[in-house]
């Protein structure tokens, strides 16, 4: 049976990427050695790292604009801390749009009284706050572009005169944005780029080196930049597989091309959620995420029937996050339109049955 993988993360990767990645575990670069047993300083791997870093800049249209790309470890969760260590001197502003922003705030608060410019906690994070002010004398402003758990997504980003830092873990490479607006972007690989184990950081170099504290080397962006993202042993498999996914995306026509497909998938998904009287969407309509559609059954008595139909149809990973419940259809770049079609069909079949 064909499986339709709606998992929120780690999540679906293109089948051709998985095939190539698995081949490299046995025989990388035709050297009869595994990717996992060669030096990360060997030319074949250094080439992988360089290709991955270059592809990121190419896809985000940031070549020659003063940005550096790093593939680090520790997940996006480590970036919550690293951002503060590297950029926070006096005070920073954070937009609280969900559990991930909340965690980012908690880590930064270790160093200072972070100012929450706005929060949607009052409505269980089902919308994106708007119309807030960002003090111009702060060190930076931090936001989360896509709220993976609650299914909301920022459609616009505030104009701000201070560095703009964004956690893009669950929607990077999914839609066209003017990425020059951002001074630091980070993303755990396992949502839309590769396997768990590496975290992408894209940083405008000129915002660094301005804090007075001593930064431990492993936490210092400048040190990682000076070593071309090879300060210590990088997670070779995660970087290699991410590189393959980035190549896959470039071959498809880049973000511009995938965005069209992502739009079609999301429109199909949300129109079923809205038209089918058995379901209701969780997120406020104008703020709905194109990546993670969150929804609930209006009558929970239908849960068992729906879950069985999903299982029989090969739908996998549809459970909502444990903090929200209900359902969540994650429609990352590698999820084919066909999978959304199958899910939507099951939902409408439930309607005829009920």
Ligand X SMILES: *Cc1c(COP(=O)(O)O)cnc(C)c1O
What residues act catalytically? 100, 167, 191
Binders of ligand X in range 178-237 (CB under 6 A): 188, 191
CB of 76 to ligand X, least distance (A): 3
Task: Decide if 67 contacts 57 (C-beta within 8 A).
Answer: yes
Residue 287 interacting with ligand X (CB under 6 A): no
197: left (phi over 0), alpha (psi -120 to 50) or beta: left
Q: What is the CA radius of gyration of the chain?
A: 21
- Rounded to the nearest 10 degrees, the angle between the axes of helix 254-275 and helix 43-59 is 60
Binders of ligand X in range 15-74 (CB under 6 A): none
Residue 142 interacting with ligand X (CB under 6 A): no
- Segment lying near ligand X (by CB under 6 A), choices 107-115, 166-174, 220-228, 335-343: 166-174
Residue 296 interacting with ligand X (CB under 6 A): no
Residue 76 interacting with ligand X (CB under 6 A): yes
Question: Dihedrals φ, ψ of 58, to 5°?
Answer: -65, -50
Look at the block and give the residue holding tokens 């960002």. Answer: 134
Handedness of CA 49, 54, 59, 62 (dihedral sign): positive
291 alpha-carbon distance from chain centroid: 9
CB of 201 to ligand X, least distance (A): 12
CB of 174 to ligand X, least distance (A): 12
Q: What is the dihedral of CA 63, 65, 68, 71, to 10 degrees?
A: -40
Bridge partners (DSSP) listed for residue 142: 94, 165
Binding-site member from 44, 75, 135, 317 for ligand X (CB under 6 A): 75
Question: Dihedrals φ, ψ of 220, to 5°?
Answer: -100, 115
Q: Tokens for 189, please give them.
A: 């690989």
Binding-site member from 126, 144, 152, 339 for ligand X (CB under 6 A): 144
Bridge partners (DSSP) listed for residue 188: 199
CB closer to ligand X, 68 vs 328: 328
Binding-site member from 169, 198, 262, 289 for ligand X (CB under 6 A): 169
Binding-site member from 77, 276, 284, 319 for ligand X (CB under 6 A): 77
CB of 232 to ligand X, least distance (A): 18
Size of the site for ligand X (CB under 6 A): 12
Residue 148 interacting with ligand X (CB under 6 A): yes
Binding-site member from 4, 5, 6, 9 for ligand X (CB under 6 A): 9
Across 102-130, b (16+ Cβ under 10 Å) vs e yields bebbebbeeeeebeebbbbeeeebbbbbe
CB of 334 to ligand X, least distance (A): 16
How many whole angstroms separate alpha carbon 243 and alpha carbon 270? 31
Residue 129 interacting with ligand X (CB under 6 A): no
Q: Name the closest residue to ligand X (Cβ).
A: 75
CB closer to ligand X, 167 vs 272: 167
Question: Dihedrals φ, ψ of 293, to 5°?
Answer: -95, 120
CB closer to ligand X, 157 vs 354: 157
Binding-site member from 97, 152, 170, 339 for ligand X (CB under 6 A): 170
Question: Dihedrals φ, ψ of 345, to 5°?
Answer: -65, -40
Residues contributing to the site for ligand X (CB under 6 A): 9, 75-77, 100, 144, 148, 167, 169-170, 188, 191
């Amino acid at each position: 049976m064909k499986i339709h993988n709606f998992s929120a993360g780690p999540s679906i990767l293109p089948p051709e990427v998985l095939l190539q990645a698995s081949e490299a575990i046995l025989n990388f670069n035709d050297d009869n050695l595994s990717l996992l047993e060669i030096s990360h300083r060997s030319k074949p791997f250094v080439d992988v790292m360089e290709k991955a870093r270059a592809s990121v800049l190419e896809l985000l249209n940031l070549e020659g604009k003063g940005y550096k790309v790093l593939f680090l470890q520790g997940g996006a969760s480590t970036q919550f801390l690293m951002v503060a260590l590297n950029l926070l001197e006096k005070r920073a502003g954070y937009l609280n749009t969900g559990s991930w922003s909340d965690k980012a705030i908690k880590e930064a608060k270790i160093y200072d009284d972070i100012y929450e410019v706005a929060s949607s906690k009052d409505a269980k994070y089902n919308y994106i706050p708007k119309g807030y002010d960002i003090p111009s004398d702060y060190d930076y402003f931090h936001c989360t572009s896509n709220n993976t758990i609650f299914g909301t997504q920022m459609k616009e980003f505030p104009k701000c005169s201070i560095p703009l830092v964004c956690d893009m873990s669950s929607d990077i490479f999914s839609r066209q944005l003017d990425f020059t607006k951002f001074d630091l972007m980070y993303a755990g690989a396992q949502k839309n780029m590769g396997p768990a184990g590496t975290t992408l950081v894209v940083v405008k170099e000129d915002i660094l080196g301005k804090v007075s504290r001593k930064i431990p080397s492993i936490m210092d962006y400048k040190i990682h930049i000076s070593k071309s993202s090879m300060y210590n042993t990088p997670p070779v498999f995660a970087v290699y597989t991410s590189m393959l996914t980035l190549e896959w995306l470039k071959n498809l026509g880049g973000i511009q091309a995938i965005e069209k497909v992502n739009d079609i998938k999301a429109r199909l998904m949300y129109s079923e959620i809205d038209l089918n009287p058995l379901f209701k969407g969780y997120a406020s309509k104008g703020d709905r995420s194109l990546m993670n559609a969150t929804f609930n059954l209006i009558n929970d008595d239908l849960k068992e029937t729906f879950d069985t139909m999903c299982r029989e149809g090969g739908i996998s990973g549809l459970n909502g996050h444990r903090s929200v419940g209900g359902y969540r259809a994650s429609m990352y770049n590698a999820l084919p339109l066909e999978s959304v079609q199958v899910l939507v069909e099951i939902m409408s079949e439930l309607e005829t049955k009920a």
